[in-house]
Structure 1
Amino acid sequence: MEYSGVSGFVADAIGQPGDRTFLLQFFGDWGRNTYLLEKGQVAALAAGVQQLMKEIDYRVEDVPPAPTLIDEVPHFRIGQLALGWDEDAEQALLTLDSVSEGDEQVVYRVSMEILAAAARQGEASVTSGRPNCERCGLAIDPEGHACPATNGDLRNHRP
């Protein structure tokens, strides 16, 4: 299925750091569609948008704020997402593939302005999580971190 006329797009999380659910949400005349994904996928999407903007030499002076994420049941969990560019329409194509066996796929045609706003918000959401351990790279919980690099020693492993 393909959706055009995207009037809003948000990449954000619901919940507290360490217990967050990451979602993509698209808005248009056809309603609102929500998809579940991993934190790493949001980070990769934000990086991909930055790369696409460089490739097509697109500069955004004033990025409008992305819409507010609405907590609702997602249509499906995203297994794979791909970002492309339709040069003729001057729109980004965001393809979402489901992890389920039904192999559901949806494509969204999004303006660069809307895509840039969602990427900025997604990047901010990803970086606002728990701090990472300098030794092993794993996230540090508020209670501390049993670092594998120090054989579980909790000293100096609290945020």
Structure 2
Amino acid sequence: MSRELGLISVLGADAIGQPGERRFRIFAESRRGSVVLWMEKEQLNSLSLALDRFMSQITEGQVLRVEARAGGQPVPEGMPADFPLASAFDFQVGQMKLHYDEYNAAFILSATPLEIVMEPGEEPKAQLREDDTVSFIFTQQDAQELASTIARVIESGRPVCPLCHAPLDGGPHACVRQNGHREIF
């Protein structure tokens, strides 16, 4: 059964934990309920890029992505203090779909939970729970703010190599783009 939360009043993204060990999430709330969507950093970044592409197309280039720079902007504060402690929906995202409704000038994000199934004597396997999809609607302004927030959340983690984009953990880095022959500090 698909659950539609309708137009949201709260939308944001943040990360929990220390750089290198962070968990990423999007949170949203409407009159119909709240949702916390846990995802991988790459999924979160892909959503930000998709929102930026949509906004650029919708506004015919009037709204372009503004790259966040670590240290340049403060890290978002995270969930508001009055956000429900126990969300109606709280799950690891297996699949996301982003749509734009031209008629209502609004975005629709649908997320499908990922479930790990453990059968006796078999390896655990991941499967989508397609009957538990949650969706919500948000405005263009919300989309622009979310994309910006996501960029700041991602940039606030470990620095990355400018060539291969692998995380730099503080020690010498043998960059694969340079065949590992030259260390980047």
What TM bracket, shorter-length normalisation? 0.7 to 0.9
Could you tell me which residue of structure 2 aligns to residue 23 of structure 1? Answer: 25
Q: Where does structure 2 lack aligned partners over 5 or more consecutive residues?
A: 64-75, 116-126
Alpha-carbon distance, 1:37 to partner: 0.3
Query: Which moves more between the two structures, 115-124 or 66-75?
Result: 66-75
Alpha-carbon distance, 1:11 to partner: 1.7
- Structure 1 or 2, whichever has the larger Rg, is 2
What TM-score comes out, normalization by structure 2 length?
Answer: 0.69
Whether the aligned pair in 2 keeps the contact of 1:26 and 1:34 (CA below 8 Å) is: yes
Could you tell me which residue of structure 2 aligns to residue 63 of structure 1? Answer: none
| Alpha carbons of structure 1 residues 23 and 151: separation in structure 2 relative to 1, 3 Å | same
Could you tell me which residue of structure 2 aligns to residue 119 of structure 1? Answer: 147
Paired amino acid for 1:118: L
Q: Where do 4+ consecutive residues of structure 1 move more than 4 Å?
A: 70-74, 150-153, 155-158
Could you tell me which residue of structure 1 aligns to residue 78 of structure 2? Answer: 68
What TM-score comes out, normalization by structure 1 length?
Answer: 0.79
Alpha-carbon distance, 1:146 to partner: 5.4
Q: 1:37 & 1:87 partners in 2: Cα distance?
A: 27
Q: Could you give the per-residue CA deviations for residues 8-30 of structure 1, whole angstroms, max 9, x where no partner exists?
A: 11122122211111001002223
* C-alpha RMSD of matched pairs (Å): 2.9
Q: 2:157 & 2:31 partners in 1: Cα distance?
A: 33
Query: How many residue pairs get matched?
Result: 151
Determine if the alignment matches structure 1 residue 79 to structure 2 residue 94. Answer: yes
Q: 1:125 & 1:50 partners in 2: Cα distance?
A: 16
Could you tell me which residue of structure 2 aligns to residue 9 of structure 1? Answer: 11
Q: 1:111 & 1:147 partners in 2: Cα distance?
A: 43
Whether the aligned pair in 2 keeps the contact of 1:79 and 1:98 (CA below 8 Å) is: yes
Identity %: 26
| Alpha carbons of structure 1 residues 119 and 135: separation in structure 2 relative to 1, 3 Å | closer
Alpha-carbon distance, 1:130 to partner: 0.9
Paired amino acid for 2:32: W
Query: Which moves more between the two structures, 38-47 or 95-104?
Result: 95-104
| Alpha carbons of structure 1 residues 111 and 42: separation in structure 2 relative to 1, 3 Å | same
Could you tell me which residue of structure 1 aligns to residue 174 of structure 2? Answer: 147
Whether the aligned pair in 2 keeps the contact of 1:140 and 1:157 (CA below 8 Å) is: no
Q: Where does structure 1 lack aligned partners over 5 or more consecutive residues?
A: 61-65
Q: 1:111 & 1:82 partners in 2: Cα distance?
A: 16
Paired amino acid for 2:174: C
What secondary structure, in the 3-state scheme, does the structure 2 residue paired with 1:141 have? coil
